[in-house]
Structure 1
Amino acid sequence: MTEKLFDVPRRVPAAVTALLVLVAVVVLTALANSTMQPLPASAPAGEFSAGRAMRHLERFATEPRPIGSPAGARARDYLVKELRAAGLDVRVQRAVGANPSTGLASFGQVHNIVATRPGGDPTGTVVIAAHYDSAAMGPGASDDAAAVAAMLETVRALGDAELRNDLVFLMTDGEEDGVLGAEAFVREHPLGRAGGVLLNWEARGVSGPSLMFETSRDNAGLVETFADAVPHPRGDSMMVELYRLLPNNTDFTPMTEAGFSGMNFAYIQDSSRYHTADDSLAFLNRGSLQHHGTNMLALARVLGGADLPALAAGHDVTYFRIFGFLITYPNALVWPLAGLAVAAVAALALLARRRGLASLPRTAVGALSGVVPVALSAVLAQGLWEVLVAVRSDYYGMGGLLHRPEAFRAAVAVLVALAVLGWYLALRRRVGPAALAIGALAWPALVGAVCAQIAPGASFMFALPALAAALGGLGALLLRGAVWRVASITAGAVVAAALLPALALTAFDGMGLALGGVSAVTLALFGLTALPLVELWLPEPGARLGRPVAVGVPAAAAGLAVALAAGGLAVDDFDVANPRRTHLAYVMDAETRVAGWVSGDLDPPAWTRRYVSGRDTAFLPPGYARGELWTGRAPAVDARGPRVTVLSRDGDTYRLKVVAGKGARSITLRTERPITEAGAGVAGARPVTVPVTGTRAKTWPGEVRFRGLPESGAEITLRVPGAEAGFRLTAISETDGLSSVPGFAPRPPGLIPATREDGGIVAITRTYRI
């Protein structure tokens, strides 16, 4: 297409100029999506200050705070004291939270902090929420203490200014174990059942801008408020649609299911620290804290004074940032824009046919074959991940969220370029550059149309680049003069350059290299929109490509990808600042006193191999082993372990009394038969019952967990179909830390606990015939 389309005597200057324009757009887009500069503690009283918020974090976010832990209680006492000192009405809700999932029912005794700031003439309630518990592996400075500290600083910055609406500052407990606190809040607390507008704050990394990544349905009024109120809005409706399709959840999920409308915020960069000991104050990006808090304070003021019922809308909006501006439009325009993109690509194909540049059959070949580079890009990216795991097995336990992934991300980009260029060069002479370039645009246009049907807020990400590229091609066919033609094609690729690489980077941040195929597909679609500019670098379309081009370019790309991967392995080696992870736990059968170490590592490091040396799991208690484990024998400890007593039985329903034992924070029950219903209750709290579907494993498929178990224990109800004659049950009490085991030596520098939930605990078991 471009040989006849562009009458450019000197191709290289045009190609270089176009390339520099696209690179500049990608770089400027990345810079525009940066976070904020933190304000010091000396900032004006009415502004949010990360420096002031840090003072709170230093008081309660320096140690792990899992549900039911002494550290969690200390953090709760501090937060309650600070909120009361600020003049808020503070209550602590004690309840049992519940969360069913496949083959599993999770329960926990939660202590939610509910602080109320009454409004002068309320039209409703604004709930600002974050969780104060952390994962057991680390202090959770980002997840989610940063948001909790931001709430305290927001309360201070609001001062005595009168707001129209009631503000509720909700600090939930037990989020890490299945959003238990939020579930109990909406099920039992009057404010949870009343509904309102929810602003929830999270983190899946330790840095990056605060992204508004999820909304409730019919979000038009909320998004417009967000766009107008927040000084540095980040996020887009693509994230909203993606998160709605994923199984992940936060406190936002049970609260919106209960009737709240709202917005969910998080920062997600440097996610290798997520749920580890490195989610600490040392690694917390102060700019991310500032961005969280600035947004929180702005929305508290605006929504605190708004007519909340007026925000209700009957539709969603599409929203995204481009060239530093937040664009919003109603989803009623999604199908017209997607249809316009398809129509523009079709018009380009017809005009190219009329000009004799590409026949419709050849364009169809270009469109149908365009699936090859897209699919190949995904395969190559996932293949790269498999190679990296094979070379460095520790990556498997990191889920693709690596410390220094930049070289590997660049390798994915090069592999995508290899797939796109390889396809283009292989078919260019036979099919023609115009047919390939126009046919390729069918793919982003098609994806945009599919998204318009199933995920409307994501359609813009593909429909707009296809529309812009097609319009750029039409302009190049209609304009006179090589300069204007090159400018038109370049301008058409700019929208894709501003949107698709940024999406690929966000996918890398959020999902890591383990799902690098997602980013690769996105980059491949970007490459398809830029094919006319690629043509500027190539010889005449009718000429055979010389060996330097036909073989040298793909070979060079492949070699560069290999070099980047090798360089990435060299750069991303583990050290004290970027530690390796290892899983280790201690398990003992309280009856037999047989004890052992277990590790789920693929290849345990030297420190872990001091405790595990083989694969023998026969000595482990019934129902304990899940998956492939390394094991080693260990000395017994002085622990009585859990106790289970049958209180009553009604057919296949059993009511049990369970006690974890001294010092244990939690208990897990595993059954040799599937369970279909489970309930739990503790003294002074309402019991709760949930259905359970599916199974957890081929053997011992039923499981119930109770986190934050009080010393007096809990009543657990199990429905076990077909178990009228009884069944076996293994109870596992869980105590944090391994220092009580004789012979245990602390991990050396550069080694931290893995994120696997059963790591770093002393597990004492008893097996019963119920």
Structure 2
Amino acid sequence: MTSSSLLVGSVRRGSLVVHLLAAVVLAVATHRPPPARGLDAPPTEFSAARADEHLRWVAAEPRPVGSARLRQVREELLARLTALGVTPEVQQTQVVRADGPGQATAATVSNVLARLPGTDSSRAILVAGHYDSVPTGPGAADNGAAVAAMLETLRALRAGPPLAQDVLFLFTDAEEVGLLGAEAFREHPLFKNVTVALNFEARGSGGPSILFETSTPDGWLVQRFLETAPHPIGNSLASAIYHYLPNDTDLTVFRRAGRAVMNFAFIDGFLDYHTRRDSLETLDRGSLQHHGENMLALVRVLANEPLPPADKDTAAIFFNPVGSVMFRYPQTWALPFALLLAVAEVLVLSAAVRARRVRLGNVALAAGLMLGTGVVAVALTSGVWLALRALTGLEAFPHHHAHQATLFLAGLGLLTLALFGLSWRIGASRLQEEERVLGARWPWLLLTLASAGLLPGGSYLFAWLLLLTAPLAWTWAKASRDTWGGWLLRVACGGGALLIATSTFYPLATALGLTLVGVAVLPAVLLFGLLQPAFSWLAQARWRPFAAGSGLAGAVLLLLGSVHVGASTEHPWPDGLAFWQDEDQHKAYWLADARVDGEWPLKLLGDAPGSRRFQEALPWVDEELLHHEVPPLALEAPRVRRDSERQDGEVRELTLHLEPPPGAALLQVKLAAPVQVLGATVWGRPVPAEALVPGAEGFSLDLWQVPPEGVPLTLRLRGTNPGSLRIGAVSLELPTLPDGLKRPPQLMPAPYGYGFTDTTVVTKTETL
């Protein structure tokens, strides 16, 4: 081979690497929201700058359930809605819900509702977003962005022509403590008119507003979204997976009530979620713009067209191959598409076997090798990440993520690629190249067939990648040549496959977090198998250097990510603190997360804190906690008054009156076994029968936002044992600390909902 031929070959290989990397970069770079529009945007269009004027007062400080700040935001919200030309109302009501055997939740909620009348008020489009936040952050993204977008959308709609259907703007209360406002709205008279519900959320501080959940069938809704949204982003894989996850939003309540639904959220900046960094300074205004554009476009089209009958609609498969370019086709195509691909793969393999180019047993061995490599890669990446968490202290983050997530993700990806190269080197000693190429496709084909039958919304990922990479395997002789034709084939097939794969895997990895990155590793390894003809040509049979280079690059990126780990004012680390005062024992304790280290917690816990579980104070925390006993503070305890008692054989009926101390957001009531609760009524509403089934630890009732005058609780009990009622008052903040003991700026309260954080609990026991 001449030097000029070697040079041309090197140029082709180098340019292929550039093109394949460019496909990945393009998919990541275009997965972003549109630019924020300014105050000069036309009055009928959405402007993030105008919405930002609302956001600044909503997210000025935290507004948790039961707080004075939440009440202030509610009053300001009513005033602004009135100024926008509608007549808002407050739906103040009580909710009582079963949470499982022996567990129930009740609350007073105050939803804010504004109706924009249409020409036909018999039907309505619902736009929902919660206006409460967690106590650990001002909630600029979660969910101030939705509140601001709803107000700006209402203004833009009023600036345009009237709509056919009513539009209901619902600002729900108490979403962060269990979707309680949404539960309450199901009882509102206007809920029966709702045909479609749109909900807007955030699980981070930036990124595109993604359509991640729909009801089924959703073909008509998705088609309208694709046609009208300026920048439609979403995929049916996310929706299909979400229905199997334990995560919920307000929309879960409306979907279960039989409404057609669409759910949107932005998820970049996951470590800002539920922390002090969910602030006006960190929120991407492009995400706010994207929320509003989707909201306004969908309301305009949905409120002017009737929803088709469910029996005339179809479920849709939809995805973005790149940026906001969206493809859509019916889910009924999934299985025929997969079967056609299977037939084609069988024909290609049969032809190769008949031509004696491959042995069927060796192809099966190659398929097994590919699956085995994937399993080993899942174990390797998960183990490496767990080790890095322990070595760097990142296990303190309950999100199971890192500020340097991109470095860690890229490093783990390169380690996976190195393992793939090593396995290909091992297989080269026994298997021919074409046997490995064809064998690597069969695990992916099995995933294609399985997803088409069991998870059709996600089948596009497997079917399209199998199709796009098919020319590399089916024309193996041409694909293996060092020619410009072979180069073009590898660029087109490999680049197209990487575009679709990255456009799906990148947001999926962001949503799962680094601890669950192994979920994406197995399909990533199998994808490498599909792209093996391109990698093989690049490696030129030098798989050992290929694996070593990938592994070294991955290790360097992981090292860089680890070096940059550390607490700072810009990237504060979380800690968990709580104060518990037991009025029965006249004792008080500081409690801390055992994973937290450093000097500051020791100022409160002492040099040698003990460690044990404290479920009598924090029943939602299963781990052992560091603790240090201190003298009790002058804190008010909850009050219990017995109003009446009636005995009928073994059954007693007690009516109690419970009053919270000032500042308490939650009253926790627990009646320990063996007393059996036959019935319970709170705020005059019966506790559902599912919650009266005896639980392992008796009966518990969480009461949120109890008014200062208290709440009546009636219990029907069986048993001669008098029993005891334990009641705890929970405030979502710590007692006031002296200046010398205040939290340093490089630390922040742990995100609400992950263990415990900045909580004060005062408990007492009453004999019944």
Instruction: Tell me the TM-score normalised to structure 1 length.
Output: 0.91
Task: Report the AA paired with residue 170 of structure 1.
Answer: L
Residues 94-103 or 577-586, more deviating: 94-103
In structure 2, distance between residues paired with 1:219 and 1:355? 47
Task: Report the AA paired with residue 390 of structure 2.
Answer: A
In structure 1, distance between residues paired with 2:613 and 2:305? 64
Residues 96 and 687 in structure 1, CA contact (< 8 A), matched pair in contact too: no
Residues 612 and 624 in structure 2, CA contact (< 8 A), matched pair in contact too: no
| Residue of structure 2 in register with 1:80 after alignment | 78
Residues 363 and 435 in structure 2, CA contact (< 8 A), matched pair in contact too: yes
- How has the CA–CA distance of structure 1 residues 654 and 265 changed in structure 2, closer, same or farther, with 3 Å as cutoff? farther
| Residue of structure 2 in register with 1:26 after alignment | 24
Task: Report the AA paired with residue 456 of structure 1.
Answer: P
How many Å apart are 1:728 and its aligned residue? 4.1
Q: What does 1:606-617 align with in structure 2 at a 5 Å threshold? A: 606-613=599-606, 614=608, 616=610
In structure 2, distance between residues paired with 1:229 and 1:206? 25
- Cα shift readout 1:529-563 (whole Å, capped 9, x = no counterpart): 111111113446xxxx6xxx53x444444443333
In structure 2, distance between residues paired with 1:695 and 1:657? 23
Residues 461 and 500 in structure 1, CA contact (< 8 A), matched pair in contact too: yes
Q: Note if 1:605 corresponds to 2:598.
A: yes
The 3-state SS of whatever aligns with 1:176 is coil
Residues 98 and 104 in structure 2, CA contact (< 8 A), matched pair in contact too: yes
Q: Note if 1:573 corresponds to 2:570.
A: no
How many Å apart are 1:747 and its aligned residue? 1.1
The 3-state SS of whatever aligns with 2:516 is helix
Residues 130 and 147 in structure 2, CA contact (< 8 A), matched pair in contact too: yes
How many Å apart are 1:477 and its aligned residue? 4.8
Residues 91-100 or 218-227, more deviating: 91-100
Q: What does 1:210-609 align with in structure 2 at a 5 Å threshold? A: 210-309=209-308, 313-324=312-323, 325-477=325-477, 482-539=483-540, 549-550=543-544, 552-609=545-602
Task: Report the AA paired with residue 39 of structure 1.
Answer: R
In structure 2, distance between residues paired with 1:485 and 1:461? 25
Residues 645-654 or 123-132, more deviating: 645-654
In structure 2, distance between residues paired with 1:53 and 1:320? 29
In structure 2, distance between residues paired with 1:9 and 1:342? 40
The 3-state SS of whatever aligns with 1:166 is strand
- How has the CA–CA distance of structure 1 residues 718 and 409 changed in structure 2, closer, same or farther, with 3 Å as cutoff? farther
- Cα shift readout 1:418-445 (whole Å, capped 9, x = no counterpart): 2211211111221222212211111222
| Residue of structure 1 in register with 2:47 after alignment | 49
| Residue of structure 1 in register with 2:627 after alignment | 631
Task: Report the AA paired with residue 376 of structure 1.
Answer: V
- Cα shift readout 1:103-126 (whole Å, capped 9, x = no counterpart): 643332110011101101356210
Q: 58, 61, 77: which is aligned to 1:60?
A: 58
Residues 473-482 or 595-604, more deviating: 473-482
Task: Report the AA paired with residue 167 of structure 2.
Answer: L
How many Å apart are 1:342 and its aligned residue? 2.2
> Root-mean-square deviation (CA), in Å?
2.9
Q: 681, 701, 706: which is aligned to 1:704?
A: 701
Residues 590 and 640 in structure 1, CA contact (< 8 A), matched pair in contact too: no
In structure 2, distance between residues paired with 1:449 and 1:112? 46
How many Å apart are 1:179 and its aligned residue? 0.5
In structure 1, distance between residues paired with 2:265 and 2:227? 19
Q: 632, 638, 641: which is aligned to 1:642?
A: 638
The 3-state SS of whatever aligns with 1:212 is strand
- How has the CA–CA distance of structure 1 residues 511 and 538 changed in structure 2, closer, same or farther, with 3 Å as cutoff? closer
In structure 1, distance between residues paired with 2:480 and 2:750? 62
Q: How many residues align?
A: 750
- How has the CA–CA distance of structure 1 residues 10 and 196 changed in structure 2, closer, same or farther, with 3 Å as cutoff? same
| Residue of structure 2 in register with 1:657 after alignment | 657
Residues 67 and 110 in structure 1, CA contact (< 8 A), matched pair in contact too: no
Residues 36 and 288 in structure 1, CA contact (< 8 A), matched pair in contact too: yes
| Residue of structure 1 in register with 2:688 after alignment | 689
| Residue of structure 2 in register with 1:4 after alignment | none
How many Å apart are 1:640 and its aligned residue? 2.9
- Cα shift readout 1:98-148 (whole Å, capped 9, x = no counterpart): 454456433321100111011013562100000000111111110011011
In structure 2, distance between residues paired with 1:652 and 1:51? 61
In structure 2, distance between residues paired with 1:328 and 1:239? 14
| Residue of structure 1 in register with 2:743 after alignment | 747
- How has the CA–CA distance of structure 1 residues 469 and 660 changed in structure 2, closer, same or farther, with 3 Å as cutoff? same
In structure 2, distance between residues paired with 1:38 and 1:173? 28
Residues 726 and 766 in structure 2, CA contact (< 8 A), matched pair in contact too: yes
The 3-state SS of whatever aligns with 1:308 is coil
The 3-state SS of whatever aligns with 2:604 is coil
In structure 2, distance between residues paired with 1:39 and 1:400? 34
In structure 1, distance between residues paired with 2:748 and 2:577? 10
- Structure 2: gaps (5+ residues): none
Residues 670-679 or 447-456, more deviating: 670-679
Residues 458-467 or 310-319, more deviating: 310-319
- How has the CA–CA distance of structure 1 residues 559 and 478 changed in structure 2, closer, same or farther, with 3 Å as cutoff? closer
The 3-state SS of whatever aligns with 2:363 is helix
Residues 122 and 193 in structure 2, CA contact (< 8 A), matched pair in contact too: no
Residues 444 and 466 in structure 2, CA contact (< 8 A), matched pair in contact too: yes
Residues 658 and 715 in structure 1, CA contact (< 8 A), matched pair in contact too: yes
Task: Report the AA paired with residue 712 of structure 1.
Answer: E
In structure 1, distance between residues paired with 2:715 and 2:734? 31
Q: What does 1:659-678 align with in structure 2 at a 5 Å threshold? A: 659-673=659-673
Name the % identity.
29
The 3-state SS of whatever aligns with 1:630 is strand
Residues 102 and 695 in structure 1, CA contact (< 8 A), matched pair in contact too: no
How many Å apart are 1:678 and its aligned residue? 7.9
How many Å apart are 1:389 and its aligned residue? 2.1
The 3-state SS of whatever aligns with 2:265 is strand
| Residue of structure 2 in register with 1:147 after alignment | 146
Task: Report the AA paired with residue 703 of structure 2.
Answer: F
In structure 2, distance between residues paired with 1:484 and 1:377? 33
Q: Note if 1:713 corresponds to 2:710.
A: yes
Q: What does 1:107-146 align with in structure 2 at a 5 Å threshold? A: 107-122=106-121, 124-146=123-145
Task: Report the AA paired with residue 148 of structure 2.
Answer: A
- Cα shift readout 1:473-528 (whole Å, capped 9, x = no counterpart): 22445799744344334433334201222322112211211111123223223212
Residues 169-178 or 446-455, more deviating: 446-455
How many Å apart are 1:184 and its aligned residue? 1.1
Residues 742-751 or 462-471, more deviating: 742-751
- How has the CA–CA distance of structure 1 residues 96 and 381 changed in structure 2, closer, same or farther, with 3 Å as cutoff? farther
How many Å apart are 1:159 and its aligned residue? 1.8
How many Å apart are 1:23 and its aligned residue? 1.7
Residues 113 and 170 in structure 2, CA contact (< 8 A), matched pair in contact too: yes
In structure 1, distance between residues paired with 2:690 and 2:41? 51
| Residue of structure 2 in register with 1:760 after alignment | 758
How many Å apart are 1:300 and its aligned residue? 1.6
Residues 738 and 760 in structure 1, CA contact (< 8 A), matched pair in contact too: yes
In structure 1, distance between residues paired with 2:284 and 2:94? 34
In structure 1, distance between residues paired with 2:421 and 2:645? 70
Residues 132 and 143 in structure 2, CA contact (< 8 A), matched pair in contact too: yes
| Residue of structure 2 in register with 1:730 after alignment | 726
Residues 14 and 536 in structure 1, CA contact (< 8 A), matched pair in contact too: no
